[in-house]
Chain A
Amino acid sequence: MILTGVLLAVLGLGLVGWFAARGRARLLHTGRGTMHSMPGYHAWHVALWIVFPALIAWGAWQAAMPGLVDGAVMADPVAAQLPADAMSRAAILAEAKTIAETPDAVAFNPLANTLAGPVRNAHGRFGLIGALLVAVVAIAGGGWAFTRIRANYPARTRVERGVLGLLLAASLMAILTTFGIVASLLFEAGMFFKDVSPIDFLLGTHWSPGSARGDNLGESFGAVPLFWGTIYIGAIIAMIVAIPLGLMSAVYLTQYATPTIRKWLKPMLEILAGIPTVVYGYFAALTVAPIFRDFAASLGMANPSTESALAAGVVMGVMIIPFVSSMADDALAAVPRAMSDGSLALGATKSETIKKVLLPAALPGIVAGVMLAISRAIGETMIVVMAAGAAANLSANPFASMTTVTYQIVQMLTGDQEFNSPKTLSAFALGLVLFIVTLILNIIALRVVKRFREAYE
């Protein structure tokens, strides 16, 4: 791509400008304190003036170029043979572009082959114009800044203002990302809710997007079994495993373990949190699920499935243990020493103090930690994809195959269907629900933690 080369050239030009400006500013630098800014700042001033305007011009040209190329190709005599209807016209044009870029691509439509030439020409022409534009902007910016190199020019203040702008822009990225998530989820989910009413989606109990046809789409997109599966696996089974183990680990590590033991055990426990979820998923499917299946068979269940809610939930719970443990650790550490000292002074044993004083006092913090853990568990994807199954069952049997919101999002988006089908869009609606639920859980939990800390400070 010619434009990628331009980008590198701009950076090179910036470097040249930097050295040139520093050399020139050094000539002015007498060391007697008559200069406002050090030579280095003049150098940065010039370099920034070269790179930034050029980058903006480059970005603008990148955005404008496809339109210009299309216009030029349409003006070409070959384009007169294109069919009149806009859709096939766009298809042939898109094909011609692929051929222009990759010479060995095979054309589906013969017309695309003849169009590839004009496309390539237009591309080359506008690329060249863009490169020239960027070069002119870079040189103009740099030249202007270069003439500013004088002893009394406040280059440092200017550079610092530029850097401050950069810092501000970086911190706005977070808001932009949040906005991007909300906007894209809302937009795509909105398209989905045009076809399927939100009430059918949120309250319907029948989920079978595969058989969705025609007018009564709502009947195939009832997401209640998905919500149930998610809650059952992530918020019930996983928490039954994670809360006792995590809480007791934290109690042991903070109250009983000697510093040496703590130093060794805590990082080891945290390894559990560092293992990728795909590894847990594989482990769940390979080892844990068959064990539970055999167990179910020995209980006398007919054809227990390999994919069970229990296997996914238990493994997910193990994954969450270190998280619950460290949240409980923080909550216990925030309880004032005087409270447990008072209890011990009254003659209570250590375990009595923990059970009757420390844990109740730390309860808000622990509950908040559990909420965060749940929010993490219900958003977990790979374990359920690999171990929980695809069947949307509304059942309380832990040995049954069960599906979750995240599983269905993956399912809906990894096929080869066109992007705007209700099936694909339903993934975004599910994503929106997931996002809102985890957001609420997180906000409440963070608020509880904050208030809880303030209460003891």
Chain B
Amino acid sequence: MSNASLSAARDGNARWQTPEATRRIARRNAAERRFKLIGLGAIVLSLAFLALLLVIMLKNGLSGLDWSFLTGSDSTDPDLAGVWGATKGSLLTMLVTLLLSFPMGVLAAIYLEEFAPRARWIEWVEVSINNLAAVPSIIFGLLGLAVFINTLGMPRSSPLVGGLTLALMTMPVIVISGRNAIKAVPPSIRDAALAIGASKMQTVFHHVLPLALPGILTGTIIGMARALGETAPLLMIGMRAFVVTPPGGITDPSSVLPMQIFLWSDEINSGFVQNTSAAIIVLLVFLLAMNGLAIYLRNKFEVRW
């Protein structure tokens, strides 16, 4: 290497190490650290809010959780009130929702993914499914009120109407997750089945659907969890009955867990603060169990093709 280029390199190095340059690098590094810290701070702040919420609910409600609370029904006396009536209402409502939205959602997903022709009206179906998934839940409540109660004359505040309304809300969620699960099944599976003489329908029901089922179930559980926590549409169809005895069937007036929380939160009597928080704990335990199940299913059966 010649002397000239060596000295140029030394010059360059020197310029690199001027106090001004060092300061600039330090400043940029500090900005870098600051930015990273802001990002971490954003997450920590959000999670702190979550922790605060949970801690306050546990602090207020944990002492109210006992056997008589879990097995009792609504009452005007906070010491006697319990959540079993509302829980049973929720279970019946969820049963109706599941029985309607799961088959409908899966069948619609199969049709759209495997059989649908490329046509204008199919696009309309897709657009309306994507939109329904984003329509505010209270709008479904208005639909339920106008159609199921006022037009078809179904019994007000019953798990039947609640379940129907929530099923319409949950179905798009199931269709979307179902389509993704079906799409993820590789074409080679279909080709193999078709090649040994299965009909298109047999291919789908015997081979594609079983492979897509874990994904569909995960989506269904998540959709059901959302429906379980939903209050606004049920408020519209009047599911705010004061139910002293648990509902016996899907046409009896009943309440649901989130609605019970809402009704108790409105009570003046301070004893209901404990009840409300305890009911929230019960609801969150249900939701946690459902989401845990969904995560378990996803991890256990997820296949990477």
Give min CB distance, A238 to chain B, whole Å. Answer: 13
Question: In the complex, how many residues of chain B place their beta carbon closer than 8 angstroms to a beta carbon of chain A?
Answer: 85
> Is B171 a contact of A276 with CB atoms below 8 Å?
no
Q: Which of A84-92, A181-189, A199-207, A360-368 is the interface stretch?
A: A181-189
Q: Which of B38-46, B67-75, B188-196 is the interface stretch?
A: B38-46
Known A171-B108, A379-B138, A434-B136; judge A443-B32 contact (CB<8 A). Answer: no
> Is B147 a contact of A184 with CB atoms below 8 Å?
yes
A153 within 8 A of B: no
> Is B107 a contact of A282 with CB atoms below 8 Å?
no
Give min CB distance, B287 to chain A, whole Å. Answer: 6
Known A177-B128, A431-B142; judge A170-B111 contact (CB<8 A). Answer: yes
A301 within 8 A of B: no
Known A167-B110, A171-B112, A282-B261; judge A184-B231 contact (CB<8 A). Answer: no
Residues of B within 8 A of A156 (CB): 199
> Is B229 a contact of A277 with CB atoms below 8 Å?
yes
> Is B32 a contact of A409 with CB atoms below 8 Å?
no
> Is A256 a contact of B36 with CB atoms below 8 Å?
yes
Q: Which of A138-146, A220-228, A265-273, A393-401 is the interface stretch?
A: A265-273
Known A167-B108, A184-B146, A268-B47; judge A438-B135 contact (CB<8 A). Answer: yes
- CA of A246 to CA of B47 in the docked complex: distance in angstroms? 12
> Is B150 a contact of A180 with CB atoms below 8 Å?
no
> Is B43 a contact of A351 with CB atoms below 8 Å?
no
Residues of A within 8 A of B107 (CB): 166-167, 170-171
Known A171-B112, A283-B53; judge A419-B150 contact (CB<8 A). Answer: yes
A321 within 8 A of B: yes
Residues of B within 8 A of A247 (CB): 42
> Is B136 a contact of A406 with CB atoms below 8 Å?
yes
B240 within 8 A of A: yes
Give B186-228 as 1s and 0s: 1 = Cβ < 8 Å from A's Cβ atoms.
0000000000000111000000000000000000000001101
Residues of B within 8 A of A380 (CB): 136
B235 within 8 A of A: yes
- CA of A428 to CA of B145 in the docked complex: distance in angstroms? 10
Residues of B within 8 A of A285 (CB): 265
A354 within 8 A of B: yes
CB < 8 Å: which of B31, B134, B175, B265 contacts A174?
B175
Give B119-142 as 1s and 0s: 1 = Cβ < 8 Å from A's Cβ atoms.
000001101111110111111101
Q: Which of B43, B283, B291 has the most CB of A within 10 A?
A: B43
> Is B43 a contact of A265 with CB atoms below 8 Å?
yes
CB < 8 Å: which of A321, A413, A435, A446 contacts B145?
A413
> Is B39 a contact of A248 with CB atoms below 8 Å?
yes
A213 within 8 A of B: no
Chain A residue with Cβ nearest B251:
A1
B242 within 8 A of A: no
CB < 8 Å: which of B32, B125, B258, B291 contacts A175?
B125
Residues of B within 8 A of A349 (CB): 28-29, 31-32
- CA of A385 to CA of B261 in the docked complex: distance in angstroms? 13
Residues of A within 8 A of B4 (CB): none
Give min CB distance, A391 to chain B, whole Å. Answer: 17
Residues of B within 8 A of A282 (CB): 261-262, 265, 276-277, 280
Give min CB distance, A453 to chain B, whole Å. Answer: 15
- CA of A177 to CA of B125 in the docked complex: distance in angstroms? 11
> Is A410 a contact of B138 with CB atoms below 8 Å?
yes
Give min CB distance, B282 to chain A, whole Å. Answer: 11
> Is A278 a contact of B46 with CB atoms below 8 Å?
no
By secondary structure, the B interface counts as: helix
- CA of A354 to CA of B104 in the docked complex: distance in angstroms? 44
- CA of A177 to CA of B226 in the docked complex: distance in angstroms? 19
Residues of B within 8 A of A150 (CB): none
> Is A252 a contact of B40 with CB atoms below 8 Å?
yes
Chain A residue with Cβ nearest B258:
A278
B99 within 8 A of A: no
> Is B132 a contact of A177 with CB atoms below 8 Å?
yes
A54 within 8 A of B: no
Give min CB distance, B219 to chain A, whole Å. Answer: 14
Give min CB distance, B58 to chain A, whole Å. Answer: 12
A56 within 8 A of B: no
Give min CB distance, A294 to chain B, whole Å. Answer: 16
Give A363-381 as 1s and 0s: 1 = Cβ < 8 Å from B's Cβ atoms.
0000000001001101111
Residues of A within 8 A of B50 (CB): 268, 271-272, 275
> Is B287 a contact of A414 with CB atoms below 8 Å?
no
B244 within 8 A of A: no
Give min CB distance, A5 to chain B, whole Å. Answer: 14
B271 within 8 A of A: no
CB < 8 Å: which of A173, A286, A406, A443 contacts B138?
A406
> Is B229 a contact of A276 with CB atoms below 8 Å?
yes
The B-contacting residues of A in range 147-196, CB under 8 angstroms, are 156, 160, 163-164, 166-168, 170-175, 177-178, 180-181, 184-185, 187-188
Q: Which of B45, B53, B108, B130 has the most CB of A within 10 A?
A: B53
Residues of A within 8 A of B43 (CB): 248-249, 252-253, 265, 269
- CA of A419 to CA of B142 in the docked complex: distance in angstroms? 13
Known A164-B115, A269-B43; judge A175-B232 contact (CB<8 A). Answer: no
> Is B262 a contact of A386 with CB atoms below 8 Å?
yes
CB < 8 Å: which of A173, A177, A249, A406 contacts B232?
A406
Residues of A within 8 A of B45 (CB): 245
CB < 8 Å: which of B46, B104, B131, B175 contacts A249?
B46
B49 within 8 A of A: yes
- CA of A253 to CA of B225 in the docked complex: distance in angstroms? 26
- CA of A385 to CA of B108 in the docked complex: distance in angstroms? 35
B103 within 8 A of A: yes
- CA of A438 to CA of B287 in the docked complex: distance in angstroms? 27
B236 within 8 A of A: yes
Give min CB distance, A25 to chain B, whole Å. Answer: 17
Known A160-B199, A171-B112; judge A276-B231 contact (CB<8 A). Answer: yes
7 residue pairs bridging A and B, Cβ less than 8 Å apart: A164-B115, A167-B110, A171-B111, A184-B146, A249-B46, A275-B50, A279-B283
Q: Which 6 A-B pairs have the closest CB atoms?
A: A379-B136, A276-B229, A252-B39, A248-B42, A184-B146, A170-B107
